[in-house]
Structure 1
Amino acid sequence: MTKYLYGMMLAMSAVLAGCQAAPIDNQPTTEIPATQNITQQATQIMTELERSDFLAIKNDIHPTLGLRFSMYGHVQPADKIFSRAQFVQYVRDEPSIRFTWGALDGSGNPYIVSLPAYLRDWVAAGDFSASAPSLNRITSHGNTLINIQDTYSDADIVQFYTAGSEHYGGLDWHDVFLVFKTYQGQRYLVAIVNDRWTT
Structure 2
Amino acid sequence: MMRRLSPLLTAALLALTLAGCGGSARDDDASQITDPASATPVDTATVGGTSASPAPSETVDTAPPASEPADAESTLKAAAKDVVDNLRDRDLKSLASWIDPDRGLQFSPYSHIDVDKDLVFKAAELPSFKDATTYEWGSADGSGDPIRLTFRDYFEKFVYDQDFADAPNVSAGKLLGTGNTPSNILEVYPKASFVEYHYPGTDKNGGMDWKSLVVVFVPSGSDWKLVSIVHGQWTI
Q: If the length of structure 1 is used for normalisation, what is the TM-score?
A: 0.74
Q: What amino acid is aligned across from residue 197 of structure 2 in structure 1?
A: F
Alpha-carbon distance between aligned partners in 2 of 1:38 and 1:56, rounded to the nearest angstrom: 17
Alignment equivalent of 1:145, drawn from 182, 189, 201? 182
Task: Give the superposed CA RMSD.
Answer: 2.2
Q: Which residue in 2 is equivalent to 1:196?
A: 233
List structure 1 segments (4+ residues) > 6 angstroms apart after TM superposition: none
1:161 aligns with 2:198: yes
Alpha-carbon distance between aligned partners in 2 of 1:55 and 1:134, rounded to the nearest angstrom: 26
Instruction: State the Cα deviation string for residues 99-152 of structure 1 (Å, max 9, x = none).
Output: 111122123322111223222321111232132321111234211111111221
Q: Which residue in 2 is equivalent to 1:25?
A: none
Q: Which residue in 2 is equivalent to 1:38?
A: 76
Q: Which residue in 2 is equivalent to 1:59?
A: 97
Unaligned regions of 5+ residues in structure 2, if any? Answer: 1-68
1:172 aligns with 2:226: no
SS of 1:44's equivalent in the other structure is: helix
Conserved 8 A contact 2:168-2:198 = yes
Q: If the length of structure 2 is used for normalisation, what is the TM-score?
A: 0.63
Alpha-carbon distance between aligned partners in 2 of 1:174 and 1:69, rounded to the nearest angstrom: 16
Q: What amino acid is aligned across from residue 161 of structure 2 in structure 1?
A: A
Q: What amino acid is aligned across from residue 126 of structure 1 in structure 2?
A: Q
SS of 2:128's equivalent in the other structure is: helix
Q: Which residue in 2 is equivalent to 1:187?
A: 224
Q: What amino acid is aligned across from residue 91 of structure 2 in structure 1?
A: D
Alignment equivalent of 1:123, drawn from 134, 159, 175? 159
Conserved 8 A contact 1:52-1:120 = no
Cα offset, 1:42, TM superposition: 0.7
> Judging changes above 3 Å, is the alpha-carbon distance between structure 1 residues 133 and 170 closer, same or farther for their aligned structure 2 residues?
same
Conserved 8 A contact 1:55-1:91 = no
Cα offset, 1:187, TM superposition: 1.0
Q: Which residue in 2 is equivalent to 1:101?
A: 137
Tell me how many residue pairs correspond in the alignment: 166
Alpha-carbon distance between aligned partners in 2 of 1:72 and 1:55, rounded to the nearest angstrom: 25
Conserved 8 A contact 2:169-2:197 = yes
When Rg is computed on C-alpha atoms for both structures, the one with the higher figure is 2
Alpha-carbon distance between aligned partners in 1 of 2:232 and 2:177, rounded to the nearest angstrom: 9
Conserved 8 A contact 1:100-1:113 = yes
Q: Which residue in 1 is equivalent to 2:120?
A: 81
SS of 2:102's equivalent in the other structure is: coil
State the identity as a percent: 30
SS of 1:91's equivalent in the other structure is: coil
SS of 2:85's equivalent in the other structure is: helix
Q: What amino acid is aligned across from residue 131 of structure 2 in structure 1?
A: P
Cα offset, 1:74, TM superposition: 1.2
Conserved 8 A contact 1:142-1:197 = yes
